[in-house]
Structure 1
Amino acid sequence: MNEKTDQQPPAGSPLPAAVRAGARMRHWLRALSDTDRARPADGGPLRPYELEAARRAGVPATRLDLFAHFLGEDGLRTLWSLLDSGRYEVTLPEEAALLTVAWLVRAGDDDAAEELVAQLRPFADRLPLTPRPADVPAPPADAVRRRSAAEASIALGLRKPNPAVEAQREALSVWRPFEDELLAHRLRADSEGHGAQWRADGAALLERYADLAARHTRCTGHLDPKSNPAILRRALAEAVAGRPADPRLAGLLRHAVTSMVAKRGRPGSPEHTRLREVQAAQAARPAHHELAALARHRLCAPDADRAAPGAGRLEGPVTAEEAARTSLPAGTALPPAVRALLAGIRPTDVTALLAQAAVPSAEVLAELVPQLATTHTARGYADEPLRTLLAATHRSGAARSTVNHWWTPARHARTGTAPWVRAVAAHGPDPVAQARLTLRAVGELAVEAFPGAGIPDRLVGTLSSLAQLAQLPVRFLSMPLANSFSGAVNPDLYPAVHNAADLLRGTPYERYYGIDYAALRERAAAQDAVALMDLCAGRAGLPQHRRTGQGGRRDTPLAHDAAVQEQARVLTTFNMATLVREVGIEPSSGWDGLARGAFTAARRRSATPKRTACAWRQLVFHLSLCGADEQAAVLVWIDAELARLPQAAARLAPALARLRLAATSSGTRPSPRACRP
């Protein structure tokens, strides 16, 4: 954008503040437009909420008049009300600008407010600076959500009719009542005989069967010639045709009638009626895919992403209005799986999600962590309205991106250079110090939430990004271990080995896995990738021909082998030692508490061998950071747990014996010597 001023400053004079302010604003807009091609340079036509704001204020429907209004007394009162209630949303970063001006005025920082207004004024006629109102408050800075409304809508749209459930529904609503009619008609013959009316009714039943069989094809049991209903139909067809049943068919008919009456009672009897009423009620229940479609329709609301916790608007039962529109019974509750999907779009504290078991794995937690990283700067502000405003500003890019995968340090830094964010920087914490606090908090959260899972691969990128913002020379090891094209070993392997060797030398971890950390550290110091990979291959038990390939040559690098990568995880602890030494994590539950949690994960019957091995490795790591008394207490606790779990005890006995030997051998408790950032 090229913005012209009314007059140019005379030669040799200092550049006016307004010109400098306009230059900073143009620089920020240029950087923003370079990364958001779909964004109109002039802001586009007025949005409906801007037109409504102009109508309420009684000013012409132009952005410049709205800008002037919000700088007046009445406009500032409106902005202060929005700040206190939080009932606004920021989908574009500039929608937070006027709210920031209002906060600065209320905080008494008139100089910063005037400077920000000077930067905004040249662009007030084109940018949508008017705050966008919302029906519910903006989520706090520490809130996360499992999925966006769009993602939940896609998941609900994938729910299709369950063939087994629909077949059961057809059986209960169509075929069981028809079988009752067949049986009742046959029982009438005992008292009425095969008269003309009886045969006419029988012919009508056979015609109905043909029609039902053509329209309802989910159930096939009625096609079995040996089934009781098939025998009744065959005997009825003979009687309607005026032919007597042969002795074999007559015997089958008597057996079919006797068994059907003995099983459910005579049609119309009290016990038979109660059974059919229960089955009819079951068949009348709405299908899950129908309720999922209703829930998906609810997500079409503009503010579905910000549904207030506990409001029940999304997860509540079918309303009378919805029942009239969809024919679903009013008051029907949504299935638990659908309610869980809808609850996942509500912003809430991550610890609450963990307590509700809404985060089932470390991998899912890793998807949520970028949201915490997005607002980490905002959480350092003491004033709650300002904290909420800045969190909404930093989240603004997520409205046009996938909720869990859009954040990068570059995006965060670009938002931080927005003039309104810089205007309140003096009222907040040091961003570098705040990034370090967030890095440590994220590391502790990942370790404590799932003590038997370690650090998931997808979390490594976020940790590295936070370390970059924290200006820490911390390098986290990521997979794959080697470059897919060049075959070069990941250089982050060497500092990971250094941290593991310095932390775990002389500990049960070193003894349990038979590692010589002193020699391993020397290889890492020399950056001898060949020796390290050969060591991992030997520990993995790879035969020589798999290490060197046929004729002494390998077609693929050794580091691509899955067994070699697993041994690299064992040697380096895959970033656990880095978190302890470089980041300085201190779990609130203590390392002994994490050891107990890791053992609980390892002894689960549902755990796969791979997950069991990972959990056991975390157990050995956590135990190695405990004192001698804590180690003994954990081993006693493990014995008590296995005493009531004989199958797990038999499965884990060899590994436990080896762990006990490693823990009771000579060695000293390690000193983490974590470098406090």
Structure 2
Amino acid sequence: MAEEAWETASAGYAMGRLEQALERALTADDAEVRRRAAARVDAWRNVLDGMASGRLTIGSRTPVAETPAWVTLEVAHGGFATGRYLAETPLREDESARLPEDAPGETDRERLNLWFLGDDGLAELGQALRTGNYRIDVPEESALLVVAWLLEREQHAAALDLVSELRPLMHRLRFTPTFSPSSTPSGAVVRLQPVAEVRSTLRQATVRPQIAAMLETLRVWNPLYDRLVALWCDTVDDELPELTADGAVVGGWPCQVWPDDWVERRSQWLDEFRAAAEVHRHPGDNFARLQAALERCPSDSSALSGREVGWIRRALANTIQAHGAPGSEARAALRAMQSTVAARPTYATLAHVLSCRLDRFPDDGGLPTLDAIDGEVTADEVPAAAGSAMPAHLLAKAARALEAPIGELVDRGVISSGEVLARVLPQITSQLLAANIEDPSLAAAYAQTYAAFRRRRSLLLLNLEHQVRFDELPWIEAVAPHRDRRTKVTRAAAQSLRETTVVALTAFPQAILPNPLVREFGALASQAELKMPLVEEVAADIFMGTFTQKWRTAASVASRVLFGTLYAQYYDLPPSWPTLEQPRYKRWGKATADDFADVCRQRSQEAANGGGGYVAQNGTVLEQSQILTTHNLAALVDGLQLTDWLREVAPDLSDRAFTWALQRQTQPVTTWISELQGIKNTAYAWRQAIFYLSFCDRAVRRDVLARLESRADARLAPAVEGLLQVAAGERFAAEGRTAGGGRRLLGWSAGPHWLARPVREDVHVSGG
């Protein structure tokens, strides 16, 4: 067989992202938004420059020329490497202080790295290991810690081999940690963000312009306005002006009488107005008209025309009609209520109070409880806000730093999706993996390195390549002989995987497991010695036309687990897959499941609708791969023995997933992209619901389907009808329709989708 051509990514996507970032950087109102956009502009320029020069090969697991796969790269949206190393940073002040003047090396970073390989540097690293007084933010920062650990245990050959591998990049990369206490959560608790990040967010809170204008009116202009109205009312010779039903003004006229103290009161009011106007935005309408007249009327009406006096009279009638006369009960009650509103502390004020309370906790740490920052505002914090309760929505923001079990953070809404769950799960996985190491100092460094590694952003990969694995880091590979498979750790990993799977399915029943979470589940499964074929979601624009053997194995598990169920009937699952003694196909040096890919392509013809580009066509094939494998649901339920649990919760999970799908299709369509995304996610939720429903008994299933039928609108009626008819024993024909007129709901379509609502009458929605 001829050698496969190696594919690389197109620069078109990067160019589009650069254009978006440029527009944002030039037009955004918020300065911080413009700053972030400008940083993205620089990143995308680096991407395009690197691709043009050949320095970057986007799509490879080693996209930067002459750079090992283990180096942590800056990765822009979509998996595009920019060429920058995240561990390549200038020396900080504390690092410069350590650097001897006569240290060898071409750069300051190289000189410092080499100093740490000397006696004094190794002693400091060893002390940090024993005390835990260090923090690892990028995986490379633990490399020389491992060298020091190996040398202390006289593992000289392993230490020398590791140094040899690191040496070519010592002039650029930081291989040492930050020497400050780490506040990594321990045990079964996690946190979403450290205190410093939450505090920074709270301190960025500002009063919205509309709220600021309202408060300005209530606190500054209303009192001045009432006194201004009173000044003019005191010049009326009869009953105060008022409006009739037809809008005419009746009553006395202003500028007819002049109280003895009127001139003094006028002068005092104007002084206060001018002082306020220097700080606050000048009000308009009646206020401006009465104020302008007052400026031109020193002591009598000689400076005002009859027309102007008439306007003053109408302005007085308007305000008296709306709010009552000066000194009246109606006006006093209104102003008392408005004063109460104005006296309330703003969101920004309370956010600042809460951020100051966070100052008591380490920047890189978390909160043991929210009670420590809850409670009424004290006079010492903000005298004007003393006694105000801390709003629940602000405490919810602070809860992002709360250290608590995953289940509690899900209940609080801190963990709001599978993607967020994937961000916090490494905090537990790292400790489980490190528990296989007997030496506590090495175990702690191992755990921090793993957590830092999981913060790496994934690369865009083509040609069936896989992301860099943790054990490919040279310093992690060097300590592999010092890790044992401990039975208690294996059991703990299995239990953690089981509990986290239950949380993910229970909290987000409508959503497929995101790739970062799948990878973390894979790490736990490996530690638990559970062979589960967990598969990732493949992007339609980079699909290479085939799958590795893992997908075929997952499909085999799904066919076995779901044989004879509603899911198998609805999606026409093969009853079984032939056993292969050995892989029959290879592409790019990897065993592939071309027969599985062929089945996916054949099944995808149902979604062919006379159009669609290559992305949509790829999407229809990939959706069939998800259907055949259940995108990990069957593998997890089977491998973790969750069938009994699922039978108990399946009615609720299916009901919630169906409800989500129905609600998603009622949301307005803003762009054709949001329409396609909405259809895809609706179909995914629909598929998850049918999977759960397959574990319900017939009576419960009838109840769930009856509720679905009663709530569905006309747009989803064909999909509901198709599901009901399959549940009653019918089958879909090749085009995805039943004899009774029902339709199978798929998320992708090569051509216009039958669920699509055109954004405009002249736009046809196609693709997926």
TM-score, normalization by structure 1: 0.64
| Distance (whole Å) between structure 1 residues aligned to residue 617 and residue 320 of structure 2 | 71
| Distance (whole Å) between structure 2 residues aligned to residue 245 and residue 414 of structure 1 | 88
| Distance (whole Å) between structure 1 residues aligned to residue 615 and residue 366 of structure 2 | 51
1:619 is aligned to: 689
- Residue 661 of structure 1 deviates from its aligned partner by 1.7
Q: What amino acid is aligned across from residue 658 of structure 2 in structure 1?
A: F
- Residue 337 of structure 1 deviates from its aligned partner by 3.0
**1:198 paired to 2:262:** yes
| Distance (whole Å) between structure 2 residues aligned to residue 348 and residue 301 of structure 1 | 19
2:103 is aligned to: none
Matches within 5 A, 1:491-506: 491=548, 492-506=550-564
Q: 1:634 to 1:413 in 2, by over 3 A?
A: farther
1:632 is aligned to: 699
1:594 is aligned to: 653
SS at match of 2:235: helix
1:539 is aligned to: 606
- Residue 183 of structure 1 deviates from its aligned partner by 0.7
**Residue pair 1:451, 1:598 contacting (<8 A) in 2 also:** yes
2:335 is aligned to: 276
1:4 is aligned to: none
| Distance (whole Å) between structure 2 residues aligned to residue 238 and residue 45 of structure 1 | 69
- Residue 637 of structure 1 deviates from its aligned partner by 4.1
Q: What amino acid is aligned across from residue 659 of structure 1 in structure 2?
A: L
| Distance (whole Å) between structure 1 residues aligned to residue 379 and residue 477 of structure 2 | 48
SS at match of 1:159: coil
Q: Deviations over 1:290-321 (max 9, x none)?
A: 33334334434453655554463334443444
2:423 is aligned to: 367
2:16 is aligned to: none
SS at match of 1:279: helix
Q: 1:265 to 1:91 in 2, by over 3 A?
A: same
Q: 1:313 to 1:417 in 2, by over 3 A?
A: farther
Structure 1: stretches of 5+ with no match in the other structure = 1-30, 47-62, 72-78, 80-87, 94-115, 123-127, 548-555, 668-677
2:205 is aligned to: 159
Q: 1:178 to 1:132 in 2, by over 3 A?
A: closer
| Distance (whole Å) between structure 2 residues aligned to residue 213 and residue 444 of structure 1 | 61
1:142 is aligned to: 188
SS at match of 2:236: helix
| Distance (whole Å) between structure 2 residues aligned to residue 171 and residue 652 of structure 1 | 50
2:721 is aligned to: 657
Q: What amino acid is aligned across from residue 374 of structure 1 in structure 2?
A: S
1:585 is aligned to: 642
| Distance (whole Å) between structure 2 residues aligned to residue 184 and residue 520 of structure 1 | 93
The number of equivalent residue pairs is: 545
Residue from 389, 405, 410 that aligns with 2:471: 410
Q: What amino acid is aligned across from residue 172 of structure 1 in structure 2?
A: L
Q: What amino acid is aligned across from residue 573 of structure 1 in structure 2?
A: T
2:534 is aligned to: 476
SS at match of 1:190: coil
Aligned-residue identity in percent = 26
**Residue pair 1:367, 1:404 contacting (<8 A) in 2 also:** no
Q: 1:507 to 1:255 in 2, by over 3 A?
A: same
Residue from 391, 395, 417 that aligns with 1:339: 395
- Residue 347 of structure 1 deviates from its aligned partner by 1.1
Relative contact order, higher structure (CA 8 A, sep 6+): 1
Higher helix share: 1
- Residue 185 of structure 1 deviates from its aligned partner by 0.7
SS at match of 2:224: helix
**Residue pair 1:409, 1:466 contacting (<8 A) in 2 also:** no
Q: 1:540 to 1:368 in 2, by over 3 A?
A: farther
| Distance (whole Å) between structure 1 residues aligned to residue 296 and residue 403 of structure 2 | 68
Matches within 5 A, 1:10-29: none
Structure 2: stretches of 5+ with no match in the other structure = 1-69, 71-85, 99-121, 138-149, 157-175, 238-255, 459-467, 586-591, 668-677, 732-768
- Residue 624 of structure 1 deviates from its aligned partner by 2.0
Q: 1:663 to 1:239 in 2, by over 3 A?
A: same
Q: Deviations over 1:255-306 (max 9, x none)?
A: 3323322332333344433432332332233332333334334434453655
TM-score, normalization by structure 2: 0.57
- Residue 341 of structure 1 deviates from its aligned partner by 2.0
| Distance (whole Å) between structure 1 residues aligned to residue 363 and residue 685 of structure 2 | 38
- Residue 333 of structure 1 deviates from its aligned partner by 3.4
2:229 is aligned to: 183
Query: Cα RMSD (Å) of the superposition?
Result: 5.3
- Residue 154 of structure 1 deviates from its aligned partner by 3.6
Q: 1:508 to 1:216 in 2, by over 3 A?
A: same
SS at match of 1:147: coil
1:53 is aligned to: none
Q: What amino acid is aligned across from residue 544 of structure 2 in structure 1?
A: G
Q: Deviations over 1:184-207 (max 9, x none)?
A: 111111368136753454355456
- Residue 618 of structure 1 deviates from its aligned partner by 0.9
